[in-house]
């Protein structure tokens, strides 16, 4: 029998919000470390492998220590492998965006995932999408245009493609998680994503892997620790609070990304971010509110919280 998801306990909203905020700190820290590692010669495929491979023993060890290793039992390995295939592509996009773009820009482009989820809902799944969500989509993509400033070459094209590609892939993954969440615990989804993702990335390791100085290995270990801790905090937050309550905290990642950009890399975010980011954030809030109002069991936007931000993105 497949593992049953943990029964959520949604009676400690302040704890849930605090855990979610801390998760965003860890995610922002992970992307900052990824950028530092990239500046020290680590390629994107190699980064993805170590990010995924380090998470496997960390999650397994945590589950063993807490007596919950049984949640990894599954009869849906094929579904997990398919989710990991899509998710690993998204992780490559996120890593590439972190390496090529200012952290606040890459973070903000990651907020477009709910916009693409709405498009998939309407155009692929042929489900009804009302005026509120269509308005949010338009607002969001106006924000993207303001950030990218077409024709002015303000944002590297490869970085822009990676950032928006991550949004597309995360939205697709959200629908896969929507299906997996019917039978699988969130932490099991995270574990199998890391397990299969590491296997897939290992295929490229002989071509991209290389020896590094000790401080670079320390960065790679830190990337794995920060990303895994972020995923565990996301899972814990969902045990104590409703998705609609905690997902709003994701936008706090922009604060940390901006601080890291200023203090670690000595640069201010481009001025266009202050024009475009509010529109993208407003669009995400409208979609989250509307999904909550419609009382979907697992909405495309909320499904992002099961580890794909990822995430998650992570």
Per-residue pLDDT tens for 279-305?
Answer: 999 988 888 877 777 655 444 444 444
What pLDDT does 2 receive? 44
Per-residue pLDDT tens for 246-274?
Answer: 778 888 999 999 999 999 999 888 888 88
What pLDDT does 311 receive? 44
> Which segment of 59-63, 113-117, 196-200 scores lowest on mean pLDDT?
113-117
Q: What is the mean pLDDT of the chain?
A: 83
Q: Is residue 178 scored above 70 in pLDDT?
A: yes
Task: Write down the pTM of the prediction.
Answer: 0.82
What pLDDT does 62 receive? 87
Q: Say how many residues make up the chain.
A: 314
> Which segment of 60-74, 222-236, 240-254 scores lowest on mean pLDDT?
240-254
| Band of pLDDT at residue 310, cut at 50, 70 and 90 | very low
What pLDDT does 309 receive? 46
Per-residue pLDDT tens for 4-54?
Answer: 444 445 567 788 889 889 999 999 999 999 999 999 999 998 999 999 998
Per-residue pLDDT tens for 62-116?
Answer: 899 989 999 999 999 999 999 999 989 989 999 999 999 999 999 999 888 888 8
């Amino acid at each position: 029998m497949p593992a049953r998801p943990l029964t959520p306990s949604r009676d400690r909203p302040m704890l849930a919000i605090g855990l979610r905020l801390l998760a965003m700190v860890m995610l922002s820290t992970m992307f900052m470390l990824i950028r530092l590692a990239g500046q020290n010669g680590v390629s994107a495929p190699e980064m993805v492998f170590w990010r995924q491979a380090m998470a496997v023993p960390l999650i397994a060890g945590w589950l063993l220590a807490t007596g919950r290793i049984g949640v990894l039992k599954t009869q849906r390995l094929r579904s997990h492998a398919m989710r990991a295939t899509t998710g690993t592509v998204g992780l490559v996009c996120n890593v590439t965006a972190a390496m090529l773009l200012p952290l606040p820009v890459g973070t903000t482009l990651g907020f477009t995932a709910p916009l693409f989820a709405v498009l998939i809902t309407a155009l692929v799944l042929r489900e009804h999408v009302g005026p509120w969500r269509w308005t949010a989509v338009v607002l969001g993509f106006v924000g993207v245009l303001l950030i990218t400033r077409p024709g002015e070459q303000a944002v590297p094209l490869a970085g822009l493609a990676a950032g928006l590609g991550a949004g597309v892939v995360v939205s697709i993954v959200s629908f896969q998680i929507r299906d997996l969440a019917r039978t699988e615990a969130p932490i099991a989804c995270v574990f199998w994503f890391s397990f299969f993702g590491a296997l897939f990335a290992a295929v490229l390791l002989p071509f991209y892997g290389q020896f590094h100085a000790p401080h670079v290995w320390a960065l790679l270990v830190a990337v794995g620790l920060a990303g895994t801790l972020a995923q565990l905090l996301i899972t814990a937050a969902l045990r104590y609070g409703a998705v609609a309550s905690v997902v709003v905290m994701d936008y706090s990642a922009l604060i940390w990304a901006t601080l890291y950009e200023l203090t670690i890399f000595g640069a201010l975010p481009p001025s266009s971010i202050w024009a475009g980011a509010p529109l993208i954030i407003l669009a995400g809030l409208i979609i989250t509110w509307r999904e909550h109002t419609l009382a979907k069991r697992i909405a495309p936007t909320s499904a992002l919280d099961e580890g794909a931000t990822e995430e998650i993105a992570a």
